[in-house]
Amino acid sequence: MLIPLTVSEIPAFTAACAHERVFGSKALTALRAYGLGDPRAKFYLCRKGNETAAALYLENGVLVISSDDRAEPAPIAELVKNEGVREVDTNWAQCQALQNLLGGTTESSYYMVYRGPQITDDFPTVEPGELREVFSVLQQSHDYYRTHLEFEHWSTDLGQRVNKGLAELYQLRCDGQVVATGCITSEDDTCGVLGAVAVLPAYRRRGLGTEMSRFLVRRIMEKGKTPRLISGYDEVAELYRRIGFAPCGRWGELYLTL
């Protein structure tokens, strides 16, 4: 059974966000940023009997799901069709089940969790990020930002989370320009999620991405939380292994044509 989230069900939603910490953290951060009264974001619970099987967050055509194996795909697929969802982010098993019902194309790689030592290095070249400059680096570095996101929506959403202390944005300069970026995209009570780590193509293989990632790990651990992330591709996962991350599951993205 899939139901819209109400105030009384927020504790159940919060518990369901722990089924999978990366997308769960994103959904919980969104709830804390938008609340239940903002028309830009919608939140749902998926129940199996008396148990909460999934927490769902829908915004700008993207559905984020934190689920366990009790979450039935059929009502989620119906929501996807009714709401005109174009992208679903969830665990790999749920992603495959939804693709069987909806079609579309998928991408997948690893959830990763930091298992390395405490980082005590100083990072004098890392500074607070400026939205416009960071987005420019992201667009030059990743096809996803060129093809799926527009600055106005991206900056409004991230800016709201940053202003409420729910996310942190950073950049790194070289030769007088911003060449690398990174973000703590979301947090819950036990973890922080790294994201939007990017380096301009001309400045890669200089260790800048590693520097930014290590800085973000230190920031999260300073808060007493565990760093987590999703690697965009298996090759990227190998880079994060060298920093101290280890795979802890597999995520999937389902892309649908409207």
Cβ-based neighbour number of residue 202 at 10 Å: 10
Q: How far is residue 195's CA from residue 213's CA, in Å, rounded to a whole number?
A: 9
Q: What is the pLDDT of residue 258?
A: 62
β-strand pairing of 168-174 with 177-187? antiparallel
Q: Position of tokens 């800048």?
A: 208
245 Cβ contact list (under 8 Å, min separation 6): 112, 113, 114, 115, 116, 227, 229, 237
Contact of 211 with 83, CB cutoff 8 Å: no
Q: How far is residue 48's CA from residue 109's CA, in Å, rounded to a whole number?
A: 28
Closest CA to 94 of 82, 86, 102: 102
Q: Print pLDDT tens along the chain (258 aa).
A: 899 999 999 999 999 999 999 999 999 999 999 999 899 999 999 999 888 999 999 999 999 999 999 999 999 999 999 999 999 999 999 999 999 999 999 999 999 999 999 999 999 999 999 999 999 999 999 888 888 889 999 999 999 999 999 999 999 999 889 999 999 999 999 999 999 999 999 999 999 999 999 999 999 999 999 999 999 778 889 999 999 999 999 999 999 986
Q: With residue 146 as reference, give the H or E element that holds it.
A: helix 143-147
Q: What is the pLDDT of residue 108?
A: 94
Say what the pTM is: 0.93
